Each structure stands twice: as C-alpha cells, then as structure tokens.
Structure 1
Amino acid sequence: MNTGGVHAHELLSRIAHLSLEHGRAQIVSTVAVVAGVVVMLAASRSARAPILRAAAVAVPVTAVIGAAVWARYRPLPNQIPPAGYARIWLAVGTLVLAATILLRKPGVRLAAAVGTAGAVVAAAAVGQVNAEVGVFPTVGSLVGHRAPTVVEPVSFGDVPGFESAVQAGTPMDSVWTRPVRTPGSGVVTEVEIPGTESGFPARPAVLYLPPAYLTSPRAVLPVMVMIAGQPGRPQDWFSSGRLGSTVDAYAARHDGLAPVVVVVDALGAQDANPLCLDSALGNAATYVARDVPAWIENSLQVSHDPAQWAIGGFSYGGTCSIQLAVNYPAIYPTFLDFLGQDEPSLGDHAGTVAATFAGDERAFAAVNPVDVLRTRQFPELTGVFVAGAADDEYRPQQQRMFAAARAAGLNVRYYELPGGHEGATWGAALEGEMDWTGRQLGLTG
C-alpha cells in the first residue's frame, strides 16, 4: 500500500478545505499587509526620506481618486464592515507606496523585493473582500474545487414530467408511501425562468428536486424560493451555503420527502444590485413575486397552496425575503431571513432613494419593509431572523427588523449563531431551520 500517496492526498484535501472566510483569513490578510509594508521600507531604507515625501502626495491623490470611483461605481459590496474597508485601503495605500518606491529608486533587486511584497499585499486585499462576500469559501475553490451539491447536475429535460397519479395530503408524511423505485438522493438542475411580466434579465435558476419528486407516484411537495447574496449567483447557495447536501440530508431523514427548492437570480448580473425592488434599477420584485411563481406552477408538479410556499435567503437574499413577504404576503407568507439588512441599501439611504425612485421618499417607504411594518399588521406572516454573533454590521439590523416585525403582529423568531457574515453561518442557519420549515409548510406533522 502506498502510504505516502495516501498521506499526500489527505494533506492536499485538508489544504483544499481550509476556509477563506473571516477569522483566520482576516488575520492572515492583515499580517500580509503589515509584512509587505515592512519589507518595502526595509528594501528602500537608503531612499526613505524622498520616498515618504512622494508618498505623502501620492496617497492623498489616490484617496481622492478612490472616493470619486466609489461615489460613481461602488465597486465593493455593501456588507463589508468598516474594519474590512480599513484593511482594504491600507492595502491600496501600500501598493501606492510600492509604485512610488520603484519610480523613485529603480533597480533589479529592489524591484524584485518590492514587487513580491506588493503582490502579497494585493492578494491580501482581494482576500479581505472574499472573506466578507464568500465567493471562494475554501482554498480548493480557487482552482475550481467546489463542495459537492448532492449529485452531478442533470438536464431539466431528463426530469420526469407531470403525472396523473400523485400522493397529496397535509401533513404530507401522514399519507406518503415511498414507492420502491424512489432514488436515494435528489438532483440539481439549472433552468431558465423568463421575466415574462417583469422584463427582468435573470440568469439561470438552480433547482433541487428531492427523491419524492423523482418517483412515481410522486409527492405533491411544498416550495422554497431561495435567493443568494450580492455580489453572487444562485450556485452560491450550493457551494458556500451547502444547500444541496443539507436538503438532501433532510430528505434522507424523512423517507425521501423534502421541499422543492428553487434558487433564483434576483440580481441579473454578478455585481448588479436591483435591491429586490421594482424601480429604476429593474423590476426584480415582480420577477420573484410574479414570474417565478408562474413558471414554477406551470413547469413543476408542486403544491399551489401559498401556505406551502416560503421565501428565503442570505445577506441580500435575506433582505429580499422580508421585503417580498410584507409586500406580497399572499404569495410568500413564510420567510427565512438569514443575515439580512433593515432596508434595501446601496450603501446610504439618500443615495439609495435617489438611484431607485429619483429621490421620492414616499415611493421608497411604500415598499421598504420596515416602513410597511409600521403602517400595517401581518398576523398571517411567519418567519425567522438569524444573525451571526460576530456580524457587527448586520446583526443590529436583524434585531431591528425582528422588533419591527413582532410589533406588526408577525409570528417571528430571532436568534444568533456563532460566526460572522459568511457561508458557514447561513449554511448552519438553513440546516437548523429545515425541520421547522418542513412543519411550517405542511410536509411533516
């Protein structure tokens, strides 16, 4: 037996699964920036005075240019906390310093030292952004190794179509008899859900179909519509959020029964931010509240009872979930808000209202969930707010939304999980809420 090969494989596997989100990743990025500064200053000590004079000019100029770029394009996601921005700007300032050193004192050795240090600093800055948004949750994901969803994705055309014989009832587990040929796990497939009414340019959605949907006679199952964060894509729920394995494990515990999960695109592009509103930024609300349900009801053999439908998401998707629940309560009476905000935001309130409704505060308030909750009671709505205990940016916002929802008569819960604004937290939130969701949607008694 080749024990060396086994040990090497285990080592590579451990490295591939090292987290790049929060905690140690942030510490490493900060240390890398500081080390880069020390290396560059040490490498250029003979010309330190003129370099620092040049940097004293270059850094403020860069700050002004950066502020202008931020005001116009907002290139970084909103969920990065102040400490994260501080690390990023420290890294940017260090890169400016590196450029200044090379311009003031060229040389092969100096260029090698400063260039290497600058590359480390740049990687640290990128790592800081990734630690907050979770695009690459692990080291392995940098080279395309993603956590398995459930099974290899299948074509939607290979999914069994509508059948005349079905099993239906509430709770579903009280009438369900698992057919002999029911598969052992669910499947994942991508589908195009057109913006027929909204005109919204959505990217493909990702479906999870449980074993009870894939058999005959199939169960008529409830529906979960889920939304990822910003920046992001539907697949993020299956990588950093582990949705596929979580729901499939739930199905394994319940004889193949689980909700049909439709993870939709509420952005339109990786870096777009339409805020789940119908506004100048696009008709994202109509897309998720009208086009998506219409497609599901016409394309999937599932329950049409709104009491068996839920809307949920993390970060941007969490904010969307409470927005859509209070603005479309007849469609989504159950919601799961993981790590969301207390209002749709592009970074500041005035800028958000200007970009969405040309500065019309009343138009914004008419759909802003916290404002809607102040004017109406919603005893028919049920939901949960989950925050990360270390998420200093979003945790207070979740607490405010919970208080507003409870005051408006909603049946809601709030709790915190260990961790920050990261996939490990919202993945754990989904795993912890599956049993409650199954009962709430009439899947189990």
Structure 2
Amino acid sequence: MLGMGNMRQWLMNISLVGGWFPAAAFAVIAVLSVTLLVSAAVSKRDGRILATVLPIGVAAVSGMVGYVVAWLLSDVFVVFGVGLGSRVMSWVAAGFAIVHIVLSRGMMRVAAAILTVFAILAAAIGIDQSYGEYATIGSLFGEDSYSQADLTGLAKRKDLITVAQWRKQAANGTIRNIPANGTVNKIDIPATKSQFEARKALVYLPPAALADSKRKPALPVVLMLSGQPGSPGRVFQAGGIQTMMDGYAKTHDGLAPIVIAADQLGADSHNTLCVDSKVYGNALTYLTQDVVDWVKTNLPAAQDAKDWAIAGFSQGATCSLQIGVNHPDLFGTMIPTDSEIKPTNGSRQEMIDRFFDGDTTAYENQVPVNAIRNHAPTHQMLIIGAGEKDTTSIRNVKTIAPVAAKAGMRVAAVESSGNAHDWHAVQDVLRYGLAVFGHDTGLDGANPNLSDYPNLKRITI
C-alpha cells in the first residue's frame, strides 16, 4: 500500500503529455459519446436512421463553428497576441461538438454528466499537449520533483581544464567514472546587487561536471528564460532540458552545457520586461550580475562571452534578445524562440511611464532591432526560430533576423514544422541551437547541418 505522501507524489507525477492518463481520458470520451448517440437513436420508435444521423451531423456543424470561432480569435483578431495553431483550434472544435452531444434531447443524464466532465478534461489535456506547457499534474500547481542543493563552491577556478583537454583525456582513457546522466537541482542565487525577489533557479550539471575527477572542464553555459506566465521549473519540464542535454552528453564524452533556468519574473503574473524598474524590481541586474557572477564563481563554468548563450521562449525570448544584444560582453550566442517584436506590458506610453520613468530612449533601447543597430557591428551568433503556425512570431523573425545579419551577426533563422507558439517549437529550435553552440564552444568538432533536423526549415531572410 502506498502511504499518503507516496500517493500524493505518485499523483503529482502523473504525465499529462503521454502515458495512461491522457489515453484513458480520450477513451472514456469515445465510449460515452458513442453510447449516448446510440441511446438517442434507439429511444425513438420512428425515424431511427434520422435520429442517429442528425445528432452526428449537428455535432459536426457545432465542431466547425467552434473551429471558426477559435480561428477568428486567434488569427484574424489576434486576441491572444499569438497564433493558437491548428491543433489547439481542433481541440476547441472537439469541445463544441461534444457539448452538443451532451445537450441533445433524450440523452442519459448520468452518462451525459460524466461525459461533460471528461470532455472538459480531455480538451484541456489536448490543448496542453499542443502547447507542451504542463508536463505533469504537479506542474499545474507549480510543483516539481527537483531537489534543493547547495552548489556554492562546487568548482575552483584553478582546478579547471579546457574542453579540448577534457576531450583528449577522455579519448585516451585518462578520465574514468563519468556518470551516465547529469543532475538537475534547485538553487538559491543570492540577489546581492539587485535585491530582486526571484524564485529558486534550476541548474543542470552535465556528467562531465560530476565525474570523479579533480580537474573538471570549464563548460559552456546556457541561461534559459521562461515565457510569461512561467517559472524556472516550467523551463525544464516543458523544455525537456535534462533529456536533451543528457542525450547530447552521451555522444560527447559527458560534455554538455551547464543550463541555468533563472527567474526573470518574480511571480507568474509579473512581466518585468527584463529591466530594472520600480514596478517589479531590478530583474536586469539580477540576471546580468547576480546570476552570471554566481555561476562563474561557483560552478565549473567558462568565463568568456563566447562560451555563454542566452535563450528563451516568448517573453523570455524577447528578454534573451534584449539582454544578449545589449550585453555582448556576457553573451556570445542568443537562441530565442517565438520572440515578440518588442517588450510588451501595456501600451507603449504606459511602459515608458511605468518602467522607464518617462524616458523614451531607455525604452527604445530595449527593442531588439534598435539594440542590434546600437551595437553594430557585432559578431555574436543568433539562432532565432518560431513555430510554423505562429504567424506573428514568424513575421517577427523575418523582421529581426535581417537587421542582425546586416549588423554582422551570424544568423540562423528557422521555423518548426507543424508547431505554433509552444514548447514543441522551443525544443526543436533549442536542439539545433545546442548543436551550433556546441560546435562554436568546442564540445563538438563537427559543424551541424540543418538537414539533420527534419522538423526545422530555414527561413529566408
């Protein structure tokens, strides 16, 4: 028997993106829908064929209406600011169709009530699977299975060797006992300079950082930012960070970047614009000084900007562009997915007044294309992408990427086939970005070819 604690942990770890739970919900929907339709047909003495066909036909029409409504809100009026994508709109359509079935006359009340509950549940699961936002039931409540760790002083600068030295020693068998997988831990990064009220960060340490060896490699670092609403835990769960990095390490002698998911928001409801302000505090100083300094001081991390990347999704992607471009001394590579064209929290004038004390120039310097022009020429690397069905973000890529290329950046602009404004697109772009960043930082001697990533297409700029 499971104890209460174990039962709760089991419940919180149930997957929403695969496995038995979503399959069971979809199966219940199918069985009850068929049952209710058959019940409606046999409950009438006359016109049984019509009684069977008519509810199905009207349900189909209801589903079409649902799809059109979602399409209008998403792609025509752009109510949500981004495209929902066909998968999400299809789930809305399914919900409309099932609601019609439930409301049809002559249905068995108990079965209809159960179907209503499961229809809402299944539609929610389907939409979540489309976005890839919540991986488990626990993630809905901000819970995760990552343990707290104190990594202060994990590595001493004098003991670090280069990645090239590590690869050479691994090849000749000098380094042994490299773990099969890396670790992910929650950490407290002191907001010494910023006093920003950040939530706990998450850090991925690859196997090379954990090997039974005094001389550890000075590893490249990726600073990863969530969307808004979002959290460091969401980055790792929805982004599949540990699986991706462990997979990379398995073919690279335990080498992979250190990944830090730091909190640029302070709370799900906050949009700090990733700047220092009186509204939500000094988010920019926290990221660029407190976080960067702590990582360089305490972890086996490389020190040079060319070995650091900043990446993010949606609002976090916009932040990664703002911060990366404005701080070429810290970041040599940027990997934004589904970026906005500019920081957005209210109208332009509202942002200028609230976050920049009325300083228009200060706000304009945070707009990615302006920041790029302000720092030209620059030789940073930009891997920028978006979901194919997120037309707004694709348009943003086509606006930002040419400006970056003109400024001297090396630019790879890509779209994720079949995906929209979601974490599936993030995983596609980040996987390719990891290969490019790994080559640039010496983790891999081979120059990656986009053709090896079949779900990505190059965007012409």
Shared fold per TM-score greater than 0.5: yes
The amino acid of 1:373's aligned partner reads: I
Q: Is the 8 A contact 1:222 1:441 kept in 2?
A: yes
Pick aligned residue for 1:156 from 136, 149, 159: 149
Alignment of 1:244-323 (within 5 A): 244-279=242-277, 280-323=279-322
Alpha-carbon deviations, 1:218-277, whole Å to 9, x = none?
A: 212121111121111112222221110111111110111111111111111122211212
Q: Is the 8 A contact 2:333 2:382 kept in 1?
A: yes
- Report the CA distance between 1:443 and its aligned residue: 2.8
Alpha-carbon deviations, 1:366-416, whole Å to 9, x = none?
A: 222222223440423212101111112312112211122122222211011
Q: Is the 8 A contact 2:222 2:308 kept in 1?
A: yes
Q: Note if 1:212 corresponds to 2:211.
A: no
Q: Is the 8 A contact 1:154 1:187 kept in 2?
A: no
The 3-state SS of whatever aligns with 1:219 is coil
For residue 162 of structure 2, what is the aligned residue in structure 1? 169
- Report the CA distance between 1:202 and its aligned residue: 0.9
CA–CA separation in structure 1 for the residues paired with 2:350 and 2:260: 32
Task: After superposing the two structures, state which structure 1 stretch, 372-381 or 208-217, moved more.
Answer: 372-381
Q: Is the 8 A contact 2:337 2:426 kept in 1?
A: yes
Q: Is the 8 A contact 1:391 1:419 kept in 2?
A: no
For residue 366 of structure 2, what is the aligned residue in structure 1? 367
CA–CA separation in structure 2 for the residues paired with 1:407 and 1:269: 37
Q: How many residues align?
A: 378
For residue 441 of structure 2, what is the aligned residue in structure 1? 441
Q: Is the 8 A contact 2:311 2:336 kept in 1?
A: yes
Pick aligned residue for 1:222 from 220, 229, 247: 220
CA–CA separation in structure 2 for the residues paired with 1:400 and 1:193: 35
For residue 395 of structure 1, what is the aligned residue in structure 2? 394
For residue 49 of structure 2, what is the aligned residue in structure 1? none
Alpha-carbon deviations, 1:183-237, whole Å to 9, x = none?
A: 1211111101122211211111111111111143221212111112111111222
Q: Note if 1:194 corresponds to 2:193.
A: no
Task: After superposing the two structures, state which structure 1 stretch, 226-235 or 372-381, moved more.
Answer: 372-381
Q: Is the 8 A contact 1:357 1:364 kept in 2?
A: yes
- Report the CA distance between 1:336 and its aligned residue: 0.9
- Report the CA distance between 1:346 and its aligned residue: 2.4
Task: After superposing the two structures, state which structure 1 stretch, 424-433 or 184-193, moved more.
Answer: 424-433
CA–CA separation in structure 2 for the residues paired with 1:129 and 1:347: 27
For residue 137 of structure 2, what is the aligned residue in structure 1? 142
The amino acid of 1:414's aligned partner reads: A
Q: Is the 8 A contact 1:388 1:418 kept in 2?
A: yes
The 3-state SS of whatever aligns with 1:268 is coil
Q: Is the 8 A contact 1:382 1:411 kept in 2?
A: yes
The 3-state SS of whatever aligns with 1:415 is strand
1:18–1:258 distance in 2 versus 1, CA, 3 Å: same
Q: Note if 1:409 corresponds to 2:402.
A: no
Task: After superposing the two structures, state which structure 1 stretch, 152-161 or 386-395, moved more.
Answer: 152-161
CA–CA separation in structure 2 for the residues paired with 1:259 and 1:77: 34
The amino acid of 1:194's aligned partner reads: P
The amino acid of 1:202's aligned partner reads: A
The 3-state SS of whatever aligns with 1:240 is helix
CA–CA separation in structure 2 for the residues paired with 1:344 and 1:136: 25
User: TM-score if structure 1 supplies the norm length?
Assistant: 0.70
Alpha-carbon deviations, 1:116-154, whole Å to 9, x = none?
A: 7876786688668746764324xxx236699xx9xx745
The 3-state SS of whatever aligns with 1:189 is strand
For residue 69 of structure 1, what is the aligned residue in structure 2? none
- Report the CA distance between 1:330 and its aligned residue: 0.5
User: TM-score if structure 2 supplies the norm length?
Assistant: 0.67
Task: After superposing the two structures, state which structure 1 stretch, 229-238 or 241-250, moved more.
Answer: 229-238
1:363–1:87 distance in 2 versus 1, CA, 3 Å: farther
CA–CA separation in structure 1 for the residues paired with 2:200 and 2:243: 20
Alignment of 1:38-117 (within 5 A): 79=82, 81=84
The amino acid of 1:342's aligned partner reads: I
Q: Is the 8 A contact 1:205 1:263 kept in 2?
A: yes
* Paired-residue identity, %: 29
The 3-state SS of whatever aligns with 2:260 is strand
Q: Is the 8 A contact 2:17 2:128 kept in 1?
A: no
The 3-state SS of whatever aligns with 1:302 is coil
Alpha-carbon deviations, 1:287-314, whole Å to 9, x = none?
A: 1111111111222132212221111112
CA–CA separation in structure 1 for the residues paired with 2:353 and 2:389: 32
Q: Is the 8 A contact 2:202 2:233 kept in 1?
A: yes
Q: Is the 8 A contact 1:308 1:442 kept in 2?
A: no
CA–CA separation in structure 2 for the residues paired with 1:15 and 1:429: 20
The amino acid of 1:197's aligned partner reads: K
CA–CA separation in structure 1 for the residues paired with 2:410 and 2:416: 20
Query: What's the Cα RMSD here?
Result: 4.6
The 3-state SS of whatever aligns with 1:393 is helix
For residue 241 of structure 1, what is the aligned residue in structure 2? 239
- Report the CA distance between 1:89 and its aligned residue: 11
1:427–1:396 distance in 2 versus 1, CA, 3 Å: same
